[in-house]
A and B are shown apart, each in its own frame.
Chain A
Amino acid sequence: MQDHILETEGLTKEFRGFVAVSGVDLRIRRGTIHGLIGPNGAGKTTCFNLLTKFMQPSRGTIRYDGRDITRMKPAEVARLGLVRSFQISAVFPHLSVLENVRVALQRQRGGSYDFWRSDSVLRRYDDRAMELLADVGLTTYAAAPAGTLPYGRKRALEIATTLALDPTLMLLDEPTAGMTHEDVDRIVALVRRVAQGRTVLMVEHNLKVVEGLCDAITVLTRGKVLAEGPYAEVSRNPDVIAAYLGSDPSVSGAAEVVHA
């Protein structure tokens, strides 16, 4: 077993001359919760898209579990256990909450190209789907169309759907974005619980969440890694403080003080 489940080397993505991600070397330790933070436009989501192969990097390599996945397709890396969530809550709105999870469980049967068979064969996944829904507190919503769920519940459903694939490495893109305090607490508890026995890489804006959850963090600014390490250590890094506070004119003076 390797110590690092995900490693990137010189990961770079250019859009017509604009460098969104530039020479990023990431190392995610197995079994940890790793935070990816940085100001808006730092390249976090691009980074995510590169890691999950939704975008092809311009340069650099990505190694997952000792295997080079740089040239793989997104569906292939998902099958290897590297599963992502999305920034905008990604559910299937007209499928029921139960069906949302079941579509993921259905992956267990391999390809579902059997158009001649009744979908009643999928009922054997219902029990497991209900377990997963119970896990995220969505039991009472099982029959509702996913599109009718309140925002926070949609995020919970998304996590349940992701968990249905039993991922080795979960990538969560801003799991608490736009949530109420109550929802945030629920999601934090949920992430902590489901992270048992897996690795989680999350993009997160809410530093309180990051502080409470993450074993290690990487700070990105302008597509580059600014700092990496445990939260307590990185949060004292003057460059990081400047990057975070410097973007707000009202406190940029404070950043100057830190520099001085």
Chain B
Amino acid sequence: MASATTLSPDLSPGASQGGAPAAMPPAAPGVFGFTRAQAVALLLLIAALIACPFFLYPQFLMKLLCFALFACAFNLLIGYVGLLSFGHAAYFGMGSYIAAHAAKVWGLTPEVSILLGGVVGALFGLVFGWIAIRRAGIYFAMITLALAQMVYFFCLQAPFTHGEDGIQSIPRGMLFGVIDLRADMSMYWFVAGLFLIGFLLIHRIIHSPFGQVLTAIRENEPRATSLGYRTDDYKLVAFVLSAGIAGVAGGAKAITVGIATLTDVHWSMSGEVVLMTLLGGLGTLFGPVIGAAAVVSMQTYLAPFGAWVTIIQGGIFVLCVLAFRAGIVGEIARMLRVKL
């Protein structure tokens, strides 16, 4: 019976002051703002990053990580600011094209090319976000979609993207000008590192003074305004960060796979990232990673079924909305009563 206190030491002070509602314990500060459950999940994730290439095809894993980073960037916006952008393919796709062009035509090193993709993604995010943030809800989603469609048609026509052919046989080049990335395993460690940096950056953004204001805005925007916060400015900064990270993800994908095509800027890519995030768990740290893994795995391993992939995906999407709205990670977190 004495075990009650030993089991939940951080619960006891709150519980002893009767009258307080049965509430969550104060989030233990943990390491770098991770809760204990999140720290465990992060260690598992890192272990998986290290172990997986010895069991699974590195090409597949790299693609998966690029999409996982893309989904995490998208989740920053919808999960933590409450903004549904339906045009994130624009930033992903522009990042992809710019990195491809920089690596192939300008002969820049891969890390600079990818970074350039991120910068261009962020710039597009700045302009598009500035236009879209004046509207809320479905209007915001429609404006982002319309602007992304403009980017699609630009990419279809612009000479440097090579229209329907896309940019092909992009050299992976030498990382920092010294490490040859042609071997899949070298490239894998680079992409895994890049993903981890992006993932940790997003976590930091959420758990920063800025992130605290973002959460307040998501929870009650008029109240945040009445406290003196220019909410549009905060949303715009979040939008630019999200678009920038999406651009990095697109750039990394182009360098990894060696091609940048119209698929990357097509609206269905925007839809796919929504699917990944919803499936994994909106507003959870690890959800988008799991969601991206699920969607990319389906696309790869169900490929023999051809057109059925889309139908299966659609079915899963419907199931997700009907049965488990919190997504895979969201439901697991609810069952274990932890924050993931």
A residues neighboring B (CB under 8 Å): 52, 54, 73-75, 78-79, 83-86, 90-96, 99, 102-104, 106-107, 109, 111-122, 140-145, 148-149, 161, 165
Q: Does B33 lie within 8 Å of A119, measured CB to CB?
A: yes
Q: Does A104 lie within 8 Å of B227, measured CB to CB?
A: yes
Most buried by A among B29, B223, B233: B223
Number of A-B contacts (CB under 8 A): 129
- Which residue in chain A gives the minimum CB-CB distance to B237? A113
**Residues from chain B with Cβ under 8 Å of A114 in the complex:** 208-210
> Measured between alpha carbons, how far is A122 from B215 in the docked complex, in Å?
14
Question: Given A84-B226, A115-B208, are A106 and B213 neighbors across the interface (CB < 8 Å)?
Answer: yes
Please tell me the size bucket of the interface on B. 35 or more
Quick one: which of A78, A90, A145 contacts B228, CB cutoff 8 A?
A78
Judged by a CB distance under 8 angstroms, whether B21 is at the interface is yes
**Nearest Cβ distance between residue B223 and chain A, in whole angstroms?**
4
- Which residue in chain A gives the minimum CB-CB distance to B283? A94
Q: Does B21 lie within 8 Å of A119, measured CB to CB?
A: no
Q: Does A119 lie within 8 Å of B208, measured CB to CB?
A: yes
> Measured between alpha carbons, how far is A231 from B216 in the docked complex, in Å?
38
> Measured between alpha carbons, how far is A119 from B30 in the docked complex, in Å?
13
Q: Does B212 lie within 8 Å of A115, measured CB to CB?
A: no
> Measured between alpha carbons, how far is A176 from B152 in the docked complex, in Å?
54
Q: Does A148 lie within 8 Å of B241, measured CB to CB?
A: no
B residues neighboring A (CB under 8 Å): 14, 17, 19-21, 23-27, 29, 32-33, 204-205, 207-213, 215-216, 219-220, 222-231, 233-234, 237, 241
**Residues from chain B with Cβ under 8 Å of A85 in the complex:** 226
Quick one: which of B23, B205, B215, B227 contacts A95, CB cutoff 8 A?
B215
**Residues from chain A with Cβ under 8 Å of B27 in the complex:** 96
Q: Does A95 lie within 8 Å of B209, measured CB to CB?
A: no
**Residues from chain A with Cβ under 8 Å of B21 in the complex:** 141, 144, 148-149
Quick one: which of B23, B29, B205, B219 contacts A115, CB cutoff 8 A?
B205
Quick one: which of A54, A93, A107 contacts B227, CB cutoff 8 A?
A107
Quick one: which of B26, B32, B226, B229 contacts A118, CB cutoff 8 A?
B32
Question: Given A94-B219, A107-B227, A161-B227, are A116 and B19 neighbors across the interface (CB < 8 Å)?
Answer: no
Question: Given A92-B215, A96-B26, are A112 and B210 neighbors across the interface (CB < 8 Å)?
Answer: yes
Q: Does B209 lie within 8 Å of A83, measured CB to CB?
A: no
Q: Does B209 lie within 8 Å of A119, measured CB to CB?
A: yes
Quick one: which of A91, A104, A115 contacts B237, CB cutoff 8 A?
A115
Question: Given A113-B234, A140-B19, A143-B25, are A99 and B212 neighbors across the interface (CB < 8 Å)?
Answer: yes
Quick one: which of B23, B205, B223 contacts A91, CB cutoff 8 A?
B223
**Residues from chain B with Cβ under 8 Å of A122 in the complex:** 209, 212
**Residues from chain B with Cβ under 8 Å of A107 in the complex:** 227-229
Question: Given A140-B20, A148-B21, A149-B21, are A118 and B219 neighbors across the interface (CB < 8 Å)?
Answer: no
Q: Does A78 lie within 8 Å of B225, measured CB to CB?
A: yes
- Which residue in chain B gives the minimum CB-CB distance to A78? B228
Q: Does B223 lie within 8 Å of A106, measured CB to CB?
A: no
Q: A103-B212, A107-B229 are in contact. List 18 more A-B contacts (CB 8 A).
A: A54-B225, A75-B230, A75-B231, A85-B226, A92-B220, A96-B26, A99-B212, A106-B212, A113-B210, A113-B237, A117-B210, A118-B32, A118-B207, A119-B33, A120-B33, A143-B24, A143-B26, A148-B21
